[in-house]
Every structure is written in C-alpha cells, then in structure tokens.
Amino acid sequence: MLDKTSDIPLILQGAPDTTEFRKLRKRIIRETRAVLDQYGMVEPGARWLVCLSGGKDSYTLLAALIELKWRGLLPVELLACNLDQGQPGFPATVLPEFLTRMQIPHRIEYRDTYSIVMDKVPAGRTYCALCSRLRRGNLYRIAREEGCSAVVLGHHRDDLLETFFMNLLHGGRLATMPPKLVNEDGDLFVYRPLAFVSEEDCDRFARAMGYPIIPCDLCGSQDGLQRMQVKALLNDWEKRMPGRRNIMFRALMNIRPSHMPDPELFDFLSLATASNPGPDPKTPLDLDAM
C-alpha cells in the first residue's frame, strides 16, 4: 500500500486501506497512463501547467499525475495553477492553503472574469461559453509566462461523452473534446489525461481522500442548462442499461469514415467495383438529364 512507503507525496497520504479503494486508485492510474501513452503526451523535461479548479476532477487529475511522476513514469515538471475568477463567495484561501500544505509547486492567479460574464451575458442565457473562453485565455497566458509547453485539464470520460451529445443534439455536428490538441495560436498543447476515467471514479477518489472540494457556483447555479439535460439523459440510459456509457465511449474511438455520409471525411467519388469504375470525379453530373 502507498502509505507504507516513506517518501510518498503528501497528496497521496491518508488513503483508505481497503481493497475497494486500492482497485479504484489502480484503475485511475492505469487509465490515466493509457491516455498519456496512447496520445503521445509525455515529453521528458517538459513543464506542464496543471489547472486546478478545486473540483473533484481536478484533484483526481493532480493526484494521478503526481503519483505517476513519483513512480518515475512521468518525467515532466508539474505546476499546479488555480485561476480565481472573482466569483462572490469563492473560498479563495482553500486551494493556496491546500497546495502549500501538500508542498506542491503552484501559482494562484486572480482575474475578475465573473464581472465580465455577468455584464456581457444577457439574462436567461448560459454563462459557460464566455466564462470558459475567458478562463482559457488566461490559462494560456499563464502557461507562456511560466514556460510551460502544455495546459493540462481535468475533463473526464463523461465530459467527453456529454460534449459529443451536446454537439450532436444542439450543434449539428459529430465532435467532442479530444484528449490532445494544439491551441489556436499553435504554441501550446492542451491535454486531458483523464479522458478514459469515469466521473464516478473521480468523485469516489476525491471524496475518499478527503480533498477540500469547491463547487462551481457560477455554472452550477443556472437551471435548464443543455449540458445538465444531456447528463440526465445519459444517467437515465446508464440506469436502465448499465454499461452504456462505456459502450458509447468505445464508439467514439471506433469511427468508420466509410460508413458516415460526410464526403469531406471519405472519398466516395473514387469508390469503384471491378466491373464499374464509377464516375469521373472531375466530371460534374448533368442533373437536368436525370
């Protein structure tokens, strides 16, 4: 067990000494490492900005990365970062005190994006788009100032699934948040190492470890959000058909371009059989003659 090792990082100490928790922790570490390896995220000597909101997901992310680093499986430098966005009632001392107590290198940045969001978003509209855009811009700036090559986020498997259905049902496209991408300016990676980890596992892990979880009172205070509706839909499917989330997520990683009707995704014009070479893709069809 981890606690029996003398040099264990402070953030990993005090773990429940149960078989159930050991299985949970090993599963999270295994799935996180699988994402890092499968998507080629690890560059030895790199410096990562690990974004910490104070929610269960970001605590799980930080703990998993620190354990992998401690085990010699993640040869990168980690800098935890919290962006205090000026939300009224936000417990601004919780994260600095926690990170200091855990002896984790960190940076706390204050930017009052809350006031901007409340001023710019009309009544009845959701805050998420503008709030996340402002947060992302500040995190990119901080990463550059700190010499980091990647911004690391705590989005998990269920976030990716919900985003897929948001795009499907409301955006008219098949897309989600990829585990790895390059920002629009082309100078930073964005990583999501928890892409294979379930939200339930993040919640169980963070609560079992007793981390000081801070709820999001800005987005979470709004009723009728499309994402909450999608979450409820997925929860209902999972309740009626256990294991459905895993199957749907596997589908996101098992796409067959030739079985989708997007002509930009697959070259249907070049399809041919032995007896029928197909039309010349350079010759337009005469629709009037049909």
Cβ-count burial 171-199 (b if 16+ within 10 Å, e if not): eeeeebbebbeebeeeebbbbbbbbbbbb
Cα 22 to Cα 247: distance, rounded to the nearest angstrom: 25
**Rounded percentage of the chain residues whose pLDDT exceeds 70:** 87
Q: Would you say 51 is a known binding-site residue?
A: no
With respect to residue 43, please indicate whether it lies within any of the assigned structural domains: yes
- Mapping DSSP to helix (H, G, I), strand (E, B) and coil, where does residue 259 land? helix
User: Residue 132: pLDDT band by 50, 70, 90 thresholds?
Assistant: confident
- Per-residue pLDDT, averaged over 141-152, amounts to 98
CATH number at residue 80: 3.40.50.620
Cα 38 to Cα 33: distance, rounded to the nearest angstrom: 8
With respect to residue 266, please indicate whether it lies within any of the assigned structural domains: no
Q: How many residues does the chain have?
A: 290
With respect to residue 4, please indicate whether it lies within any of the assigned structural domains: no
Contact, 189 vs 180, CB < 8 A?
Answer: yes
Other C-beta atoms closer than 10 Å to the C-beta of 167 total: 15
Nearest to 117 by CA among 139, 105, 132: 132
Q: How high is the pLDDT of residue 2? A: 67
Cα 24 to Cα 28: distance, rounded to the nearest angstrom: 6
Residue in the structure block whose two tokens are 């199957």: 247
Total domains in the fold of the chain: 1
Q: Would you say 219 is a known binding-site residue?
A: yes
With respect to residue 20, please indicate whether it lies within any of the assigned structural domains: yes
Residue in the structure block whose two tokens are 């402002």: 134
- Per-residue pLDDT, averaged over 72-83, amounts to 97
DSSP state of 11: G
3-state secondary structure 30-57: HHHHHHHHHCCCCCCCCEEEEECCCCHH
Cα 269 to Cα 265: distance, rounded to the nearest angstrom: 12
And the tokens for 173?
A: 């496209």
With respect to residue 229, please indicate whether it lies within any of the assigned structural domains: no
- Counts of helices then strands in the chain (DSSP H, E): 9, 6
- Per-residue pLDDT, averaged over 81-106, amounts to 92
Q: Would you say 148 is a known binding-site residue?
A: no
Q: Which helix H or strand E contains 117, and what residues bound it?
A: helix 113-120
Between 261 and 130, the more confident residue is: 261
Cα 168 to Cα 148: distance, rounded to the nearest angstrom: 34
Q: Which helix H or strand E contains 16, and what residues bound it?
A: none
Instruction: Tell me the pTM.
Output: 0.89
pLDDT beyond 90 at 240? yes
> Domain of 100?
15-224
Type of residue found at 99: L
Residue 8 C-alpha from the chain's centroid = 26
With respect to residue 171, please indicate whether it lies within any of the assigned structural domains: yes
